[in-house]
Amino acid sequence: MIAYNPTGLDNAVINDQAQSEYKKGNITAVEMAGIKTAFPEILYTPNFFIRIGLFLLTAVIVICALGLIMLVMMAGLNNENFIGGLILFWGGCCYAMLELWWVQDKKHYRSGIDDALTWASSGALLTAMIVFTDFDLEGSFLCGVICAIATWMTLRFADMLMALTAFGSAIGFIFFAGFEVSPIAADLMPFIIMLVSLGAYVLFSRLSGKEQFRHYEACLDVLTTAALITLYMAGNYFVVREVGAEMLGKTGPVPIGWLFWIFTFVIPPVYIYFGIRRKDRIRLRTGLILLGMIVFTVRYYHSLMPIETAMVLGGAVLIVAAWAVIRYLKQPRYGFTYEADESGEEMTGLKAAEAIIIAQTFHKTPQPDDSFKFGGGTGGGGGATGDY
């Protein structure tokens, strides 16, 4: 399903891990060269700054080219269907260039050019549909279209932002569809989204460890984090109350508000607990971040002190806590350490040892010295012909 060359993706991962091991001194320069020879990098992936530059340059070119075409066809711009068709055609051209030229032929992978064309083609398709419908789309339909486009782009190009867009629009589709169906569905919406988010988290977590989805590992990490966040937000008292007031015009305390207060306080510590127990960075970091949402929610409805004082005290507590944790983890304890992860990024679907083991295959076996030979009757021959 993925558009990029799978072998090229695997080779890039192996080379990254081998480079990390080489910097640590775990493999020699000869072994490193053997890995590069055995697993050549066939995909073009520049550094971060060049990627940004190529993205901006491509975006400018795409926009200017579309503007130039519109200037040439100025006579037809009074017709909305013509405008929609032109934008749709341009989006198709961008997608064709992305698939056939930059990915299949030029072997670009996260170079900035493929990123820009991915978003340009997706945006053009969405804009064309909005124009064709005379800018009159229901929220659920719009979210459904965005979800379909983003899901396809995620499957083809493993784009993390597209994956996040697909998940967010899927939640939006459920949200707006519930409000459009019946008031009962609207009242149950927090619980519906919590159940959907929980199911999504379980699904993404299980897919994350499977070999066949190794090229989507980064996308699955983003989706797992997003599912944890939406699970909490759907049960947060502040979100439930304010969204209900905005969408349903309800004011005052939320029915069964005590339950949402429990969700507000309990879910982040649960994330932290299971993150520590199972050495899960995603749950641990998400839980720590959502602790701030607890403070915000309480502070919004119950002001205990001036905001300036609260921020100073909160910052002081965080600094002291961080200092204490750093000192405690100077020596690794319970699988945690303060030391930085030197590997840069973890292997994706391939074990770190694979590159090292394969490298041994290409390590040259020492050959014996040819100066000492068994001869016929010489001293070296040991009297093979009766002579010494």
pLDDT in tens, 124-157: 999 999 998 887 788 899 999 999 999 999 999 9
102 and 222 in a common domain: no
Cα torsion 58, 62, 63, 69 to 10°: value is 160
Residue 336 three-state SS: strand
Q: Where are the alpha helices (DSSP H) in 182-236?
A: 183-187, 189-208, 217-235
Local structure of residue 40 (DSSP, 8 states): -
385 assigned to some structural domain: no
**CA–CA distance, 328 with 242 (Å, rounded to integer):** 41
Which comes out higher in pLDDT, residue 200 or 366? 200
- Bridge partners (DSSP) of residue 336 are 333
Decide if pLDDT at 195 tops 70.
Answer: yes
**Are 251 and 341 within one domain?**
no
One domain for residues 199 and 263: yes
- Looking at residue 365, what is its pLDDT? 45
Q: pTM for this one?
A: 0.82
Question: What's the confidence (pLDDT) of residue 337?
Answer: 72
Helix (H, G, I), strand (E, B) or coil at 108: strand
Same domain, 93 and 132: yes
User: DSSP 3-state assignment of 312?
Assistant: helix
Sorting pLDDT into bands at 50, 70 and 90, what band is 259? very high
Domain co-membership, 130 together with 255: no
Q: Which of 136, 152, 186 is the last residue of a domain?
A: 136
Provide the pLDDT for residue 134. Answer: 80
Total domains in the fold of the chain: 4
- How much is the pLDDT for 336? 72
Residue 252 and residue 316 in one domain: no
Whether residue 276 is contained in a domain is answered as yes
Quick one: angle between helices 352-361 and 29-38, nearest 10? 100
Mean pLDDT throughout 226-251? 89
28 assigned to some structural domain: yes
**Are residue 66 and residue 180 in the same domain, yes or no?**
no
Structural domain includes residue 219: yes
Residue 307 is predicted with a pLDDT of 74
What does the mean pLDDT of the chain come to?
84
Tell me, yes or no, whether 125 lies in a domain: yes
Range of the domain at 293: 165-304
Please tell me whether residues 191 and 237 are part of one structural domain.
yes
What is the Cα–Cα distance from 343 to 347, expressed in whole angstroms?
A: 9
User: Same domain for 24 and 88?
Assistant: no
Query: Which pLDDT score, from 0 to 100, does residue 340 have?
Result: 63
Check whether residue 37 and residue 54 sit in a common domain: no
For the chain, helix (H) and strand (E) counts, in that order, are: 15, 0
Q: Are residues 238 and 199 in the same domain?
A: yes
Cβ–Cβ < 8 Å for 45, 106: no
Domain assignment present for 266:
yes
pLDDT tens figures, 270-323: 999 998 888 888 998 999 899 889 888 888 888 777 777 877 887 888 788 888
Considering 153-162, 255-264, 329-338, the range whose residues carry the highest mean pLDDT is: 153-162
Per-residue pLDDT for 380 more than 70? Answer: no
Q: Which of 129, 30, 119, 45 is nearest to 87 (CA)?
A: 129
In a domain, 366, yes or no: no
Q: Is 128 exposed, middle or buried (0-12, 13-18, 19+ CB in 10 A)?
A: buried
pLDDT at 373 over 50: no
CA neighbor of 356 nearest in space, from 13, 8, 14, 9: 14
pLDDT: which is higher, 356 or 328: 328
Residue 190 in domain: yes
Separation of alpha carbons 28 and 166, rounded Å: 43
Which amino acid is residue 232, in one-letter code? Y
366: DSSP letter: P
Judgement on whether residues 175 and 227 belong to the same structural domain of the protein: yes
Is residue 296 classed as helix, strand or coil in its secondary structure? helix
pLDDT, tens only, 10-56: 998 898 888 888 888 888 888 888 988 999 989 999 999 999 999 99
Domain end (from 136, 152, 185): 136
